[in-house]
Chains A and B, each alone.
Chain A
Amino acid sequence: MAEIIGRKGFIATVILYGCAAALAHADNAASSISELKQLNVEDLMNVEVTSVARHPEKILQAASAIQVITQEDIRRSGATSIPEALRLADNLQVAQKNSHDWAISARGFNTALANKLLVMIDGRTVYTPLYSGVFWDVQDYVLADIERIEVISGPGGTLWGANAVNGVINIITKSAKDTQGLYAQAGGGSRPEDLADVRYGGALSPDTQFRFYGKYFDRGSEVLANGDSASDSWRQGRGGFRVDSDPSTMDKLTAQGDVYEGHEDEQTGGTSNTSGENVLGRWSRRFSDTSDLSLQSYLDRTHLLNPVAPLSVGALQLAGAGLLQDDLTTYDVDFQHRFRIGAANAIVWGWGFRYTHDVVSNAPALAFLPPTLDRDLYSLFAQDEVALRPDLSFTVGSKLERNDYTGFEVEPNVRLSWLLNSNQALWSAISRAVRTPSRIDQDVFEAAPPHFVLLEGGSDFTSESVVAYELGYRVQIEPQLSASVSSFFNHYNDIRSTTITPTTLLPFFFANGLEGDTYGLEFSGNYQVSDPWSLHAGYTLLKEHLHVKPGQVDINDALNETADPQHQFSLRSSLNLPRHTEFDAALRWVDTLHTNNGPVVGTVPSYFELDTHLAWHASERLEFALVGQNLLHNRHPEYGFPEPTRPEIERSAYGKFTWRY
């Protein structure tokens, strides 16, 4: 809900923060003044600028742990997918499970059913109500048309609503105005085997621009520890459009839509088919720089056909193999309004409504009952940012949501930001967020009746909640050197447990039997060594202490909701070489992952990995690039319980050429 806030409130300040790294680029283009003077007015307006602090004080003052991945960051990383690009955010845990599946979370809880992150693409929420998680395989775009990805770790429930428990990811694509002309990219290698992107943008009238795009890729299988194929190759194609229009000086209209289809071989046998289509419309009206409103609506349909392996206990097969089909329709409308009261109060408020219609066709070994479920979600929020002093601002707000599972939920926050001087700031926040139940929590049956039921959803399953205490510090030490640190202490309650039926023991069922604390910090630093060379370092510390609540039982001993590294470290270098050549390298170290199979702890060993990107701009139109991924090992696991069937990620490389006209 209220995703649009991002675009106006947070984000205006955030872009700039993200670009602080580029600050030192400011003086490198001595010749570019004369180059810029060659351009006519319209072309000059099309030049992309790195914004050096439109409001430097605000950048510093953003009262949350925000990181921004820019288009340039994505391009220079050589990423081919959104999950790969998300490795650029220091405040996320990103692990590739197999060729097509990823586990991504902020501040922990990165299980196979990770459910504490809210992800939006242009204001469209992309989580699945099957388990409140994200099917990362089907979230994709022509990466060159993504303007930026904002990653906020920490609760965002007040603005964004349920599910923004540990973080929010906002993927924002460029306006059609900024993607005019032809863009084509093609390439391949050991992985992806083939990739092709094409986009064309044009104008329908001086005030209305459009673009169409298509994207296709084919990725081979990863491997098992013994070197055998993991049989998880996949391919996916998608296409879409976006139209942006300015019918008047105050109004902006956007319409956009996408369709996709993919086929993924599954390690357990068979092929998953994924497809979907969505269309979104947005109207925004700007009254002044501090007052605007927007109304957005979308329709999103996703289809999933997944082979389900037989369910066996030891040698006893409880249910045979089958297919699970899920067809989800989401209709959503959101309104938001921003205005000021006097000089000191910046108010934002909004409401939203979402309707989901989910139809599952069940497999013998896995079922959601009832098969068809309609859910309504109503939300209302308001937030006031009060300028107590020029250097001190206090924010208070709350969301009120009504869902069909638990009724009303309240997600308040208070935030304080204090500008110590022109180049350093402190911020602090206390917030509450919830994860409302999803279908897996209440409706799941493993196996489906009349087969013997081993595990089922809990009819009394209620919302999980967090109260988070955050403290952050940002500093611009020199124009070339900036850093930020965010620390947090989170107290969780009513986290999912798997408990036993008092008299019969079985079936196991889901309850809210866990509670506990996590704490940690996220560090991020940028250093411009010289004009052509910049460095970036990131580090996260995460400690998790979940336990079973007194009087409760969890057959997994409070181990199944976490699978996270305690430490993560990354170092990236970005170097511009002579003759229009660029070389980028990204080194990451991920600590041992404790990943669990029920109450049994297994590990993914800690690892170093290295990605590189070498690009040559042969001309203004043509670019060649060579990308190496996971170069340090023949193969390494990033996720999963240590068993012979655990997929490992192979060293890979691909080449591509990009043509812009």
Chain B
Amino acid sequence: MAVAALIAAQALSAADAPTENQVQAVFLFNFSRFVEWPPQAFATPNDPFVIGIVGSDPFGARLDEAVHNEQINGHALTVRRFHSISEVDNCQILFIDRSEIGRLGQILAALDHHSTLTVSQADGAAQRGVMIQFATENSRIRLRINVDSARAAGLTISSKLLRPAEIIGTDVKE
């Protein structure tokens, strides 16, 4: 199994390499499986599982494609886009585009007491309290995970994500 997957990875890299955004979109989808939300994260068992994007959308149709026809514990995955944090209501995952990084403090404050997994590709986002930050190193997508932030929101991140990730603490200076 591991071997088969390895081959697939190489096949992909040998052909036209995917873009950062494609891989990040697939990561966002994967997060829905490797993070555990508390039951109160959904108002009803039929609520959709919402991946929100605040700020400009770097993914285009790729994220929609990644979650198309997918569901998790009976919650259908869906993507919603928000212009600003004031529009954001119940999201299980919120992707904060770097265009919103200037308002990061506001956004995180608004999500306080929500079980929302925050994700961003902005430099230094994990140090500033975002739970998962995408970073590109050596043409690979790396994850930087702020475990304390996730724990504070009642989220449990699977060791499958944590093991290959870089664990980041919140920078007290920020």
Contact = CB atoms under 8 A, between A and B. Distances in A.
Interface of A: 15, 22, 25-26, 28-30, 32-52, 54, 72, 147, 174-175, 177-178, 181, 206, 246, 249, 288-290, 576, 580, 617, 620-621, 623, 660
B32 to A, nearest CB: 12
Nearest to B163: A206
Nearest to A54: B136
B65 A48 contact: no
Contacts of A29: 15-16, 18, 22
Contacts of A660: 10, 14
Given A47-B141, A49-B136, A41 B171 contact: no
A394 B130 CA distance: 31
Contacts of A30: 65
A400 B162 CA distance: 45
A32 B27 contact: no
B9 A288 contact: no
B17 A50 contact: yes
B13 A290 contact: no
A25 B141 contact: no
B124 A175 contact: no
What 10 pairs between A and B have smallest CB-CB spacing?
A289-B123, A620-B11, A48-B13, A36-B26, A620-B7, A43-B9, A50-B17, A43-B5, A26-B19, A289-B124
B8 A44 contact: no
Nearest to B125: A289
Given A26-B21, A623-B14, A50 B139 contact: yes
Nearest to A19: B139
B127 A288 contact: yes
B20 A54 contact: yes
25 contacts: A15-B139, A22-B17, A26-B21, A32-B12, A37-B66, A38-B5, A39-B9, A41-B34, A42-B163, A44-B26, A44-B27, A44-B141, A47-B18, A47-B140, A49-B18, A49-B19, A49-B22, A49-B136, A49-B141, A51-B139, A178-B140, A620-B11, A621-B7, A660-B10, A660-B14
A661 to B, nearest CB: 9
B138 interface: yes
A660 B9 CA distance: 12
A28 to B, nearest CB: 6
B62 A177 contact: no
Nearest to B143: A45
A26 B65 CA distance: 15
Nearest to B121: A54
Contacts of A206: 163
A32 B18 CA distance: 7
Contact of B123 (A49, A290, A620): A290
A33 B65 CA distance: 7
A28 B16 CA distance: 8
B39 interface: no
Nearest to B161: A41
A44 B165 CA distance: 12
B95 interface: no
A48 B124 contact: no
A208 B171 CA distance: 26
Contacts of A72: 17
Contacts of A178: 138-140
B23 interface: yes
Interface string B119-144: 00101100100000000101111110
B43 interface: no
B16 A45 contact: no
Contact of B21 (A28, A52, A181, A623): A52
A315 B34 CA distance: 84
Contact of B124 (A25, A51, A181, A288): A288
Given A37-B29, A50-B19, A72-B17, A249 B12 contact: no
A249 B23 CA distance: 23
Contacts of A37: 26, 29-30, 66
Contact of A47 (B12, B124, B127, B171): B12
Interface core residue of A26, A177, A576 (most chain B CB under 10 Å): A26
Contact of A52 (B10, B20, B123): B20
A37 B124 CA distance: 27
A181 B13 CA distance: 14
A339 B7 CA distance: 41
A72 B8 CA distance: 18
A285 B27 CA distance: 27
A623 B13 CA distance: 13
B168 interface: yes
B25 interface: yes
Contact of A177 (B14, B20, B34, B138): B138
A22 to B, nearest CB: 7
A575 to B, nearest CB: 12
B139 to A, nearest CB: 5
A28 B15 CA distance: 11
A213 to B, nearest CB: 17
B167 A249 contact: yes
Contacts of B66: 33, 37
